Amino acid sequence: MTQTPISTEELILFLKKQAKTVRIEILKMLTIAGSGHTGGSLSAADIVTALYFYKMRHNPKDPHWRERDRFILSKGHAAPLLYTVLALSGYFDMSLLTTLRKIGSPLQGHPSSTLLLGVEVSTGSLGQGLSISNGIAIGLKMDGLSSRVYCLLGDGEIQEGQVWEAAMSAAHYRLDNLCAIIDNNGLQIDGHCHEVMAIEPIREKWKAFGWHVIEINGHDMEAILSALHAAEKVQGKPSLILAHTVKGKGVSIFEGKVEYHGIAPTQEELEKALKELGDGE
């Protein structure tokens, strides 16, 4: 289907508005559920919005389209974010979002590929997503497809040893169709990452493992698009986008607060958040 070209300024404005909508829907569904992960879903909202509503090739009417790009949510606890972008993209009706974490719902606390179309793989056991992404990227190359794989990791997640095995193998197999993205918000369930298990210097470590590293502000939509474009042009090695983000981004009462890692908003907090986000404007 031919689309009317829009300017870069119009594209950025559209994506920013879409990211705001994504945040609003995440908070609504979490509040209804009464449980779930607020902070990490909001921190990665701009990045995943840019992927689903601009960069990635995918087709909600044909979720198994062979030539689609693949998105792997390695930090599976941010499932509300994935569910929201899938619904807004047209994979399923928006009303299903109100069933998050309910018994019998396909929208469980962590994504399940057997329950919901659009979810590439079931995730939630931290540290495994990059290994899975490697396998998919290798398979795409073997099949002669130009499709790309995008893998979103949490910064606390890269404390897992399997991540570094996968980082080494991705470089060994020269997986230039793979782009990993680290949601570097500095907080994990038990506190600040540097206090739980220091992960810095992240950039230097991934470069040493043979990756092309791009460091950005993960809430700057222009920077996100520029990084995704740059990663696509890299040849002979995988790319990592190190995105500096804020836990709970978009709502002041949640921003930078570790306690909202795995706690849903109360009704009162939701009302404050929606007012701040300009719901209905």
Span 179-197, pLDDT tens digits: 999 999 999 999 999 999 9
Specify the pLDDT at position 35: 96
Domain boundaries in the chain? 8-277
Q: Residue 231: which residues within 8 A CB-CB, separation 6 or more?
A: 179, 212, 214, 239, 241
Looking at domain 8-277, which of 3.40.50.300, 3.30.420.40, 3.40.50.970, 3.40.50.720 is its CATH number?
3.40.50.970
In this structure, what token pair is assigned to residue 76?
A: 């599976």
Query: What mean pLDDT do residues 146-155 have?
Result: 98
Q: How many residues are present in the chain?
A: 281
The pLDDT of residue 4 is above 80: no
The pLDDT of residue 143 is above 50: yes
Q: How confident is the model at residue 6 (pLDDT cuts 50, 70, 90)?
A: confident
Q: How confident is the model at residue 280 (pLDDT cuts 50, 70, 90)?
A: low
Rounded Cα gap, residues 143 and 140, in angstroms: 5
Report pLDDT digits (tens) over 87-107: 999 999 999 999 999 999 999
The pLDDT of residue 5 is above 90: no
Phi, psi of 71 (to 5 degrees): -115, 125
Residues 87 and 25: beta-carbon distance below 8 Å: yes
Task: Find, among 17, 18, 130, the residue nearest to 84 by Cα.
Answer: 18
Dihedral sign computed on CA atoms, order 84, 90, 93, 96: negative
Residues 240 and 215: beta-carbon distance below 8 Å: no
The pLDDT of residue 117 is above 50: yes
Query: What average pLDDT is seen over the chain?
Result: 96
In this structure, what token pair is assigned to residue 50?
A: 């840019």
Specify the pLDDT at position 279: 75
Task: Provide the 10 A C-beta neighbour count for residue 195.
Answer: 10
Query: What mean pLDDT do residues 226-245 have?
Result: 98
Phi, psi of 272 (to 5 degrees): -65, -40
173: exposed, middle or buried (C-beta count within 10 Å: 0-12, 13-18, 19+)? middle
Specify the pLDDT at position 150: 98
Task: Provide the 10 A C-beta neighbour count for residue 259.
Answer: 13
Query: What mean pLDDT do residues 154-169 have?
Result: 98
Percent of the chain at pLDDT > 90 equals: 96
Specify the pLDDT at position 1: 36
- pTM over 0.85? The answer is yes
Q: Tell me how many degrees the CA angle 14-145-119 measures, rounded to the nearest 5.
A: 55
